[in-house]
Amino acid sequence: MLLPAGQTLEDITSRFEWDVPEIFNIGQAVSDAWAASEPDRICLEHFQPEGYHDRLTYGELARRSNAFARGLASLGVARGDRVALMLPQGFETAIAHVAIYKLGAIAVPLALLFGVEAVEHRLAASGAKVLVTTSDGRDKVAAIAPRLGELRAVVVTGEDAGDASGDGVEAVGFAALENGHSDAPVGVETRAEDPAMMIFTSGTTGPPKGALHGHRVLIGHVPGVQTHHEFMPQPGDKLWTPADWAWAGGLLNVLLPGLLLGVPVVSSRAQKFDPELAYRIMAEMKVRNAFIPPTALRIMRTVADPLSRHRLDLRTVGSGGEALGRETYDWAKKVLGLTINEFYGQTECNLVLSSSARLGVSRGGAIGKPVAGHQVAVIDDRGQVVANGTSGQIAVRRPDPVMFLGYWQNEEATRAKFIGDWMLTGDQGVVDSDGYFSFFGRDDDVITSSGYRIGPGEIEDCLTGHPAVALAAVVGKPDRMRTEIVKAYIVAAPGFEAGADLAAAVRDWVKTRLSAHEYPREIEFVDSLPLTTTGKVIRRVLRDRAILEAREGERPD
């Protein structure tokens, strides 16, 4: 599953072959295998703002996950049962994940920042038998627990396990559950195709669906991780991401591949992204490899002269989840002194396109090229591959070890995800004559104005290149004359006053850098943008808002 040595991506791709064993278990692969050979090897480091940073070895991870697995079994968890985790980054989160996989159960990661309705939908849809969370998470589910017929227990980290969360729902402390059971090996055998985790889609375009993945999904991620982190593992490598481990990007791009490859992973309990803290974590923890989503990088751009206060030793930075854009790509080269390797995937089939400066695959404004082992193309509505330079939908061919098994209890949605053997991403893109893929928006995001089809990504990238713009999101607003007009929602950068003068300056900025039909005819300054817990803009919310504005504007006074 490791990439072969090579000087070019084409050379590596031509010699790469998948090696997916019939029997494979994520939990055993990321802990027991290392514990048997190097039990004292550091696998996790936890950043503490006070300056004392904790460490966990592979031996400790193996033993503690064994004990916790037996504790979950004592609560009735068996092969195939769903166990939800609503936790911040930390040792307990990794231990719980590994324990669930060792049991042959299915992990359902949830963001601690989710509201009550979002949590209820996911717990009910997954039929989770146990929830592992913090005391805050316990309090959040207390009111809804009686409505969750499958939920039997809430395992609580920290000192305060509390009382039962609802009728028939037991509350138990994480430490008590772990310490009360043997740490002898747990030997449930799973096939690579057996379900291991259910990750809900981000819900940017509709109700979240549970994407079910097999144990093989971790093997499928390794070539992509090695591509954008330029042949990880290298001596001194150490991984960190501000992304929640409840997201595929945090869990499958960082935590689990790091554990599998023997690369220490840095964790932090911070729930709100703070650019100064991000620089501090990377400096103090001597992070060499980071996955930083585009929105977080744009926020980091607002920090003036960061390297004057933070001594970084980064080797690689990968970014994905939404379009990075040329402006942020160029900023990183100038300010951080490195090339950001952009990559692409989605919850259902992650890390299939990537850049790698070391392999000469790097171009501002483009995602990159197919990762070794993955067949990716731009296709039309009939499932036919289109010519280079022609826009269409990005699609991935099955079978592929990184591809989901299907949507949980939703065969119709699973079938609709495919045309023949092509898995549809719902993302519009194009391939240029050099084989680089570019992404310019989801199907629902594309704006139709005066006969032009306009992707929001390029406009947003241009907008954030203006010094007065911290963040921007672009949607289509219904218009009788043009079908739609481009409307921009902008968060002004610190020190700039939002108003008509700034709006005019921003419009001119886009007109002179893109084209006359792409500039935002309407600009609205906002304090913040609606974001998923993964940092992606929820354009659906902004589109609904723009549609409502258009309807109200058409009403007679």
Nearest by Cα to 79 from 210, 200, 196: 196
Q: Which of 214, 243, 275 is the last residue of a domain?
A: 214
- In-domain check, residue 422: no
- Domain limits for position 534: 446-554
* pLDDT tens per residue across span 423-479: 999 888 999 999 999 987 666 677 767 555 677 877 888 898 899 999 999 988 988
557 has pLDDT over 50 = no
Q: CA Rg, the chain, in Å?
A: 23
Query: What's the whole-number mean pLDDT along residues 174-184?
Result: 96
- In-domain check, residue 302: no
- In-domain check, residue 345: no
Query: What is this structure's pTM?
Result: 0.85
In CATH, what number is assigned to the domain containing residue 89?
Answer: 3.40.50.980
42 has pLDDT over 80 = yes
Cα separation, 504 vs 525, whole angstroms: 12
Query: What's the whole-number mean pLDDT along residues 147-164?
Result: 84
- In-domain check, residue 76: yes
CB 488 within 8 A of CB 544: no
What pLDDT was estimated at residue 439? 82
Q: Show Cβ contacts of residue 513 under 8 Å, excluding neighbours closer than 6 positions.
A: 462, 465
Backbone angles phi, psi at 494, to 5 degrees: -55, 135
483 has pLDDT over 80 = no
* pLDDT tens per residue across span 280-312: 999 999 999 999 988 889 889 989 899 999 999
- In-domain check, residue 497: yes
167 has pLDDT over 70 = no
Three-state SS string over 436-478 comes to CEEEEEEHHHCEEECCEEECHHHHHHHHHCCCCEEEEEEEEEE
What pLDDT was estimated at residue 317? 98
Cα separation, 363 vs 361, whole angstroms: 7
Alpha carbon 244 to its chain's center: 8
Residues paired with residue 230 on neighbouring β-strands, in sequence order: none
CA angle 387, 388, 392 (to 5 degrees): 70
Measure Cα distances from 169 to 97, 161, 294 in Å: 21, 13, 40
* pLDDT tens per residue across span 308-362: 999 999 999 999 987 788 889 999 999 999 999 999 998 999 999 999 999 999 9
CB 493 within 8 A of CB 470: yes
In CATH, what number is assigned to the domain containing residue 531?
Answer: 3.30.300.30
- In-domain check, residue 49: no
Q: Which of 214, 232, 249 is the last residue of a domain?
A: 214
537 has pLDDT over 90 = no
**Six-digit token string for 140:** 């959040």
Count of domains observed in the chain: 2
**Six-digit token string for 487:** 């409307």
- In-domain check, residue 102: yes
Q: Which of 168, 196, 214 is the last residue of a domain?
A: 214
- In-domain check, residue 550: yes
Nearest by Cα to 87 from 290, 271, 255: 271
- As a whole-number percent, the residues of the chain with pLDDT over 90 amount to 70
103 has pLDDT over 80 = yes
Taking residue 430's Cβ as centre, other Cβ atoms within 10 Å add up to: 19
